[in-house]
Amino acid sequence: MSAMNDARTPRTALCHYTTDAVYYGDADLVGDLLGKASFIDVFMKQTFGRVPGAGERRIVDAVLVTLMEHGMTPSAIATRMIYASSPENLQAGVAAGLLAVASRFVGTMEPAAQLLGSIVASEDGEAQAARIAHDYRARREAVPGFGHHLHKPDDPRAVALLALAREVGAYGPHCEALARLAAAVDATAGRHITINATGAIAALLGDIGIPPALMRGFAVLSRAAGLIAHIAEEQRDPSGRFIWNLVDAAMTDEPSAG
């Protein structure tokens, strides 16, 4: 049997086309989607196989807006520096910045979601939350989804996102798990530790059924838009040479005399 006829040959259901039509799944791009479906609806249908309801759509939209811009973070700096080196390739600058969407910056909703999932699945959620908090405390590591260098005592983004979840009826077991974990983190630290934006996002996306392994995709999607904005600003008011000179002056030692 040839590979083309082998039942084990991978298949894609995302797109197919004829001489006069293009289909996203079973939807006709021209007849069903263009001018009729939003970007969020098509993204959710392509990725998760369903069109979100009104409340879920507001959650996804809020998550994407929250993650789009965080200022001059590593992703934005990388984008600006690569664009300064290769201004003919806008996509290279964006790609460089997206490589920084990871476990330390922007993409921390994934490990946070895994912790929340373990609390949801536990027979004793409070005990599991306490175990997590004590484990991270013993290792002197920040609990994913908690803490912020600027936003204290609370991260206003997290407060607003959790309020939105309540408003649209999407405050479920993952948001409740986040509250349990927050109480345990505070008790273990002996002081209040803020829930940061990615902690809230992990809870909200968990409660609308997004698997942890795909949550970082929302950060990638959103941050790509934000990085395009950084390149647009770089085109108007270049900063690449300034960043280079600033780092060079701060980090390069002058040769010693003699």
Q: Is the pTM of this model over 0.85?
A: yes
Q: Which domains does the chain have, with CATH numbers?
A: 1-37 (no CATH), 53-246 (1.10.230.10)
- Give a three-class secondary structure readout of the chain: CCCCCCCCCCCCCCEEECCCCEEECCEEHHHHHCCCCCHHHHHHHHHHCCCCCHHHHHHHHHHHHHHHCCCCCHHHHHHHHHHHHCCCCHHHHHHHHHCCCECCCECCHHHHHHHHHHHHHCCCHHHHHHHHHHHHHHCCCCCCCECCCCCCCCCHHHHHHHHHHHHCCCCCHHHHHHHHHHHHHHHHHCCCCCECHHHHHHHHHHHCCCCHHHHHHHHHHHHHHHHHHHHHHHHHCCCHHHHHHHHHHHHCCCCCCC
Per-residue pLDDT of the chain (258 residues; tens, 9 = 90+): 455 566 788 999 999 999 999 999 999 999 999 999 999 999 999 999 999 999 999 999 999 999 999 899 999 999 999 999 999 999 999 999 999 988 777 778 999 999 999 999 999 999 999 999 999 999 999 999 998 777 789 999 999 999 999 999 999 999 999 999 999 999 999 999 999 999 999 999 999 999 999 999 999 999 999 999 999 999 999 998 999 999 999 999 776 665
